[in-house]
Structure 1
């Protein structure tokens, strides 16, 4: 913690540390290193910690977020600032995997990251992010009102990217390096953590991208049902009646049609809402 604060102070006018209910000496070490410390009496999750930090830095021209466990390198902060200072981006995402990098990431973690990246990109519709779970980011000050901080846990990383994309902000990725060690691992089981984030992303997709959530699966069910129906009808013409399988195929077509129309209706409603909001 102390080295992260000291390194960050070399590239920032102010360093804010949000102590989210830790039981160690985080606050004392951060204060000694010269940081402004805000303490949560109990652990409330990363989303709440980011909300607290953003509120404290509401008057900043640029806000940079990074983890305090030594995973991110403070000396790379200028790389994230540059696109904003040049007027090329509103949000800069530090990516561990840009240009095929990230080979030091454990394989099982990278596989989970790929799934979460795809879900985040689909939910936003306009993103092509290679590291949706990165905590090393830079935000232009004018972007702060965009973020609502609904999610309390690590899903906040994807939520912020989706909100930025939906608001039409310019998002750019820059390559960053990462240091992995035992202290960098989440306390939560990585598989359980990944599944929980994916489930919440899919829940968000239900509202953000109903065509992906409802219509596409519905069309797939319709196609499967129709193919099965043709197969069973052919069997019937050859003297074999498969009543229950045929009924099942019909139910697939009906259920798929219901899902497809639901997605189309929700998509139309969401487009109307976005147009009414001027976005």
Structure 2
């Protein structure tokens, strides 16, 4: 379905004279904020108004909302793009990155539109890109300490998702599920934008890691009292984990297949050596059950290890073909 660009009389770039004197500093770079939004009429107006103090323009991607999200965002001064149907956060970010490039953005900032993130953190987030030592900046709740405001169930789930994301991306990121990030506009073609839900955060880190982007983190604050998600935290976390593991299966098969296969093969081989030792030393015969288990471990382990090596070779060829 086609996207509809709503600019309206209130949608415009913020000029230098209209900025707060201490909001953006003296950076000549164009900072554009992309806000994916789905039924966020309660918060979107205030978020746009606050964000405009720290950026040159704000783009709201209304991803098939059934409320007044688009109308309120437009009145608050945002450039609004409407998806006629809900396509997911990945598609919304893809649309937003393309629109930001069309507006001449040098730096693209992504934020959640429900009010969890504080727009006043934007200058701190974009500083490493402006200073030239990063191409992507991840806003982290846990960079210098564990956020005591984070509920226990969130911290537990976050640890699992961070571990899986590190396996997939090869990056040591302290907050893999952060939606508050800054990107040099030159990186926009690095990302696939395939994931529909919150797994897009992990997917983007995987893409950044494989592309060798220079990445750093800065500390941010997050409000949890405004979390408007209607999905169960457990269901949400499991959904993200499954998507990350599927990505690992395709992009890092040595982790997904070969490593577990080697462990299974090693376990079967250890059992076999033990059986032979007992047979030679004390004349103990081979029990049917343990012997079958040993054979299965060796066969399955060997198959998984070889499958991982084969898929790794195929994915490497596929990436080289895409690059060509």
Same fold (TM over 0.5): yes
- Residue 6 of structure 1: how far off its partner (Å): 0.9
- After superposition, where does 1:1-279 map in structure 2 within 5 Å? 1-58=44-101, 59-125=104-170, 127-181=171-225, 183-233=226-276, 237-272=282-317, 274=319
Higher helix share: 1
More deviation, 16-25/79-88: 16-25
- Residue 235 of structure 1: how far off its partner (Å): 5.8
Q: RMSD of the TM alignment (CA)?
A: 1.9
Q: Report the CA distance shift for 1:38/1:277 in structure 2 as closer, same or farther (over 3 A).
A: closer
- Residue 186 of structure 1: how far off its partner (Å): 2.1
Deviations, residues 156-209 of structure 1 (Å, cap 9, x unaligned)? 11111111111111011100001111x314221111111111111111112221
More deviation, 167-176/255-264: 255-264
Number of corresponding residues = 277
Question: Does structure 1 conserve the Cα–Cα contact (< 8 Å) formed by 2:90 and 2:200?
Answer: yes
Question: Does structure 2 conserve the Cα–Cα contact (< 8 Å) formed by 1:232 and 1:245?
Answer: no
Deviations, residues 43-67 of structure 1 (Å, cap 9, x unaligned)? 2211111111112112311110101
- Distance (Å, rounded) in 2 between the aligned partners of 1:108 and 1:192: 12
More deviation, 43-52/63-72: 43-52
Question: Does structure 2 conserve the Cα–Cα contact (< 8 Å) formed by 1:232 and 1:242?
Answer: no
- Residue 23 of structure 1: how far off its partner (Å): 2.4
- Distance (Å, rounded) in 1 between the aligned partners of 2:178 and 2:303: 37
Unaligned stretches of 5+ in structure 1? none
More deviation, 203-212/61-70: 203-212
The TM-score with structure 2 as length reference comes to: 0.80
In structure 2, the residue corresponding to 1:109 is in which secondary structure?
helix
- Distance (Å, rounded) in 2 between the aligned partners of 1:191 and 1:130: 20
Q: Report the CA distance shift for 1:272/1:188 in structure 2 as closer, same or farther (over 3 A).
A: same
